[in-house]
Chain A
């Protein structure tokens, strides 16, 4: 609730006026039967046609005013809802960028997308419904009952009684509905996931001859959902039926008691119409509100999911020191760095120390899970280290702004991701002011000359994620994007894996020739990729087990030998 209020706050005035107009609508709805009753009463008693026409004109004006009020109220309401949802989406996105990679992964990309799109959408729709259907209810009840009292005190009490009975049973049903809907949602999720598994796993299912088993699994998920859905439908049917019963009974009581009240002269014949209308309006509004309230738990779930993101504590804070560019040769230094993920019992990295020097290539090799990629993440400050220090040109990266760290390091991640747009748009990530010459040069170094053969060259379209390029092409473009950025350190995180051996070696040679006054860090699985590095760091279970050149390591590091032998088996 606090979350939504926070987002409404800037639009208090809008909310205020929306409510005023909603009240106008309620008054209009109730005033029409009042006027009709008047017409009947005066008409039959005095036979005054002039009075009837006069009332008719008043009615006309009230109707039009009420309708205008309703339309304006609706307008303000949708305006408010769309503004709130826009603000929530923006806040979510802004927050997502502040989260560390680890925290973001806790939510997951798919879930974050759902939160930003669907969840907000549900909230927006629920908000509109709430404003339109639930908010008018108290006004309707109070004003309606007050008007009944003004006709006849006894009838006023009757209406209070009827309203209370309906509200109590509505609360009761809503409670029950919340449970059913929760179940229904979980069965729907289950149905979706089993079905998805069946579709994506069709090969495996057929290969293992599990068609029958899957059929039963699907059938069960369908049946569970069906049973739950029928329960929900029946509940709605009961609610509907209850409403009809209440309205009919109220009409009968109004007729009987109203007849007597007319007999003793406290009420007039036309008032029966007015009272019946009041009763129907109040009941109708309550029932409609209930339908909306029944669906509210879903909106609350969505709201909570959004709140979880917005209130997630930011782990990585900007340092306040100014970055001072020095002329040191030691670009990057790890000093006894240890790192542990928030949910892990053991360190992912233990006591890591090494230095990357200007003009030199450092390589890191090790098996999956040895912590190679984590090192790259730490350098970019996607995570914060648990112990030790990482120094960028002598300054602790936690003490300077994140922007400064990333400004001086160019990074090619493991998964080559391109943005939709043109190739040029993507390369501009590295340097938005790059000249045509620079673009071509970096493409050339990255062995991405194929761009020139594309229609439009660097202006060729890139589909989302770079889907229209092969894995190798994507990697080369991602490398070109990183090369175009002037940096003190270039980090290649397993960025050559999709390249064939020939391209891989050409690319490495080109990089070595062109990047002379920066430091290079290569994380790789293939020995051939790192054979010529100035220093190779061998990682095993988060610890450095060897550091040196290829030849040195072949002599003294058993794990390195194992890796080398496994890859060069049968080689010369």
Chain B
């Protein structure tokens, strides 16, 4: 949904990069594998522009030749006709000039066609590499849609703007200088008229774009409002229906769509009327020039050919001049998009792996927290002093209210975050002295949110162990009590889960993630509310399978239902980031503290 909302933001075309110079510098660096391509383009652009300037001049020459030929023919009483020697050769030369122009034009366009996309690919790849080194805190702080839109929309926008914009920028500069120089050669007066009208149309563009931006902003706001209303109405439709609020809601949406219609009309009209308005000014200029030039023609100050050539130069120079502000805007917003991508690349990375790491394979599973201190930001410490010890094969339960720090504890164990102080040991070895990959290969976890990717069910189960055979996959599914369900799917294990996976329930998703871990055979198990969406009866069955799996393994369980953790060897009761009680079920009940209260309340 995030990207969808983002799409409408593209209207804002006048956004500027924070530092144009730095971004261009970096951009220059980012295309260092494409200098060859760029050189070809620039050389081609130079020739193309030169030829485009020469062509009208030469065609003027031909028109004059024809005109003179016709005049002499009339005077001598013969009929004028074009042969190779009579104008034909010149026309052929003009054709050659056109052909050469065309070749260079095609060349630069084709070469440029891949330029921006190659740059996008490079930046996208750099971002995807970067993703692996970003701390989890980054993902907590930023919505998925936000990152997504930078990598897809922003880069697409950038590539579109660079693709056409850069080429146009190059050619425009040449065209304007060349054409105006030529026009000056023919007539200073006519050129002055032309430049005067161009100035007016440039001012007009500026005026228009200010208004356009304002209307675009209004439209943006009305669309955001509609988006919010629609999202809400579709999500809450059951409520709307069950409270008979359809009419009320239809009216509300109707108002919002009407506002959008009004705002869109204005914005679209503004955007679409810039060109006709500028065309009007330009044409008025041309009328003036035509009248003055006509007079000069009669007075013999201009030849017919030059008269025609002059209009061709007007067309060549007017377009880039009036489009200049639009072009600069779109290039600027391309740079701004680029800057946002560079910002991701500049994000702080997770700490480097230690040199000479200690490798721990098939750990026994002894885990120790020693005076661990941690906060998501250094000035907001969540955990002050956490210490506990887990012997290999023990089952540890973590209980506490939402926000008490249960998930954080697991995050630290997996080294998703680095601790501020203290030590976490696996088999007596400081986990900081191991590589993250090595550490994590000893763990298997089932997380709160059931993440599955777009692919077959079998692929999803074998995610952590791609070499698993079909039999092993089925075995794991059976252990997770999900085999039967998979078989009822149309394609069985080859059923493709779509990314929104609406065809399977949350509970079933959880069972699949359990099967996924089963197949990995890790030393330490982590179950983070893994069974919260599975009903109690199924939970018992999973529990049985889990008990088997947990045999000989250390396991951490975070669960809502106290029934699942009563047989734990160690229960950690957490509150506000700290462990307030620890012990087994009996000990804690006898203590008559927080745990006892929690436990007894379920029978109220």
Contact = CB atoms under 8 A, between A and B. Distances in A.
A binds B: yes
A562 B563 contact: no
Lowest 9 A-B CB distances belong to which pairs?
A263-B80, A237-B109, A233-B113, A248-B98, A86-B261, A67-B280, A52-B294, A367-B535, A56-B291
A201 B94 contact: no
Contacts of A510: none
Contact of A114 (B4, B81, B99, B445): B4
A245 B118 contact: no
Nearest to B507: A368
A79 B128 contact: no
Given A206-B414, A269-B63, A272-B63, A86 B260 contact: yes
B193 interface: no
Contact of B440 (A207, A233, A256, A402): A207
Given A117-B230, A567-B536, A43 B88 contact: no
Contacts of B294: 39-40, 43, 49, 52, 56
B124 A207 contact: no
A186 interface: no
Contacts of A82: 260-262, 264-265, 268
Given A222-B125, A241-B105, A244-B102, A197 B66 contact: no
A104 B73 CA distance: 81
Contacts of B258: 86
A368 B538 contact: yes
B566 A60 contact: no
B121 A226 contact: yes
B101 A259 contact: no
Contacts of A86: 257-258, 260-261
27 contacts: A36-B311, A40-B307, A63-B284, A70-B276, A74-B272, A90-B257, A110-B1, A117-B227, A128-B268, A192-B152, A214-B128, A234-B110, A240-B105, A255-B62, A255-B63, A256-B82, A256-B91, A429-B239, A429-B245, A501-B601, A501-B604, A504-B604, A528-B603, A568-B563, A569-B563, A570-B563, A571-B603
A105 B249 CA distance: 20
A209 interface: yes
Interface of A: 25, 32, 36, 39-40, 43-44, 47-49, 52-53, 56, 59-60, 63-64, 67, 70-71, 74-75, 77-79, 81-83, 85-86, 89-90, 93-94, 96-97, 101, 104-105, 108-110, 112-114, 116-118, 121, 124, 128, 132, 188, 191-204, 206-211, 213-215, 218-219, 222-223, 226, 229-230, 233-234, 236-238, 240-241, 244-245, 248-249, 251-252, 255-256, 259-260, 262-264, 269-270, 272-273, 366-370, 380, 382, 402-403, 406-407, 409-411, 413, 417, 419-420, 429-430, 464-465, 470, 481, 485, 500-502, 504-505, 525, 528, 559, 562-563, 566-572
A196 to B, nearest CB: 6
Contacts of B283: 32, 63, 67
B226 to A, nearest CB: 7
Nearest to B260: A86
B159 A198 contact: no
Given A52-B291, A114-B4, A501-B604, A197 B453 contact: yes
Nearest to B151: A195
A209 B437 contact: yes
B499 interface: yes
Nearest to A59: B287
B184 interface: no
A78 B234 contact: no
Contact of B535 (A85, A94, A368, A485): A368
Interface in B565-582: 566
B128 A206 contact: no
B464 to A, nearest CB: 4
A223 B537 CA distance: 47
Interface in B65-113: 66-67, 69-70, 73, 79-82, 87-88, 91, 94-95, 98-99, 101-102, 105-106, 109-110, 112-113
A43 B121 CA distance: 59
Contact of A230 (B99, B113, B449): B113
Contact of B304 (A52, A78, A210, A269): A269
Nearest to B280: A67
Contacts of B242: 380, 406, 409-411, 413
Given A96-B234, A256-B88, A562-B540, 5 more contacts: A255-B59, A269-B67, A406-B244, A419-B239, A430-B243
Contacts of B99: 248
Contacts, number: 402
Interface stretch (B18-26, B129-137, B369-377): B129-137
Given A90-B254, A199-B139, A413 B243 contact: no
A403 to B, nearest CB: 5
Contacts of A559: 537
Contacts of B3: 192
Contact of A237 (B87, B106, B129): B106
A479 B291 CA distance: 81
A53 B94 CA distance: 33
Interface in B520-551: 520, 533-540
Nearest to A61: B287
A118 B601 CA distance: 49
Contacts of A90: 250, 253-254, 257
B216 to A, nearest CB: 13
Contact of B237 (A104, A118, A234, A264): A104
Contacts of A219: 125, 128
B356 interface: no
Contacts of A215: 128-129, 132
B174 to A, nearest CB: 16
B241 A195 contact: no
Contact of B234 (A36, A112, A402): A112
Contact of A464 (B105, B231, B464, B563): B231
A44 B297 contact: yes
A259 B454 CA distance: 67
Contacts of B144: 196, 199-200
A196 B234 contact: no
A67 B279 contact: yes
B505 A368 contact: yes
A407 B246 CA distance: 12
B211 to A, nearest CB: 14
Contact of B257 (A89, A229, A248, A262): A89
A240 B94 contact: no
Nearest to A366: B535
B208 interface: no
Interface string B1-31: 1011001100000000000000000000000
A290 to B, nearest CB: 16
B499 A197 contact: yes
A368 to B, nearest CB: 4
Contacts of B226: 89, 117
Given A109-B235, A255-B91, A464-B231, A118 B603 contact: no
A193 B73 CA distance: 74
A164 B129 CA distance: 51
B54 interface: no
A67 B276 contact: yes
A259 B139 contact: no
A93 B253 contact: yes
Given A52-B295, A207-B440, A567 B561 contact: yes
A466 B120 CA distance: 39
B463 A210 contact: yes
A209 B538 contact: no
B304 A207 contact: no
A377 to B, nearest CB: 9
Nearest to B111: A237
Interface-centre pick from A39, A255, A382 (highest chain B CB count, 10 A) = A255
B362 interface: no
Contacts of A429: 239, 243, 245
B440 A206 contact: yes
Contacts of B80: 259-260, 262-263
A464 B566 CA distance: 39
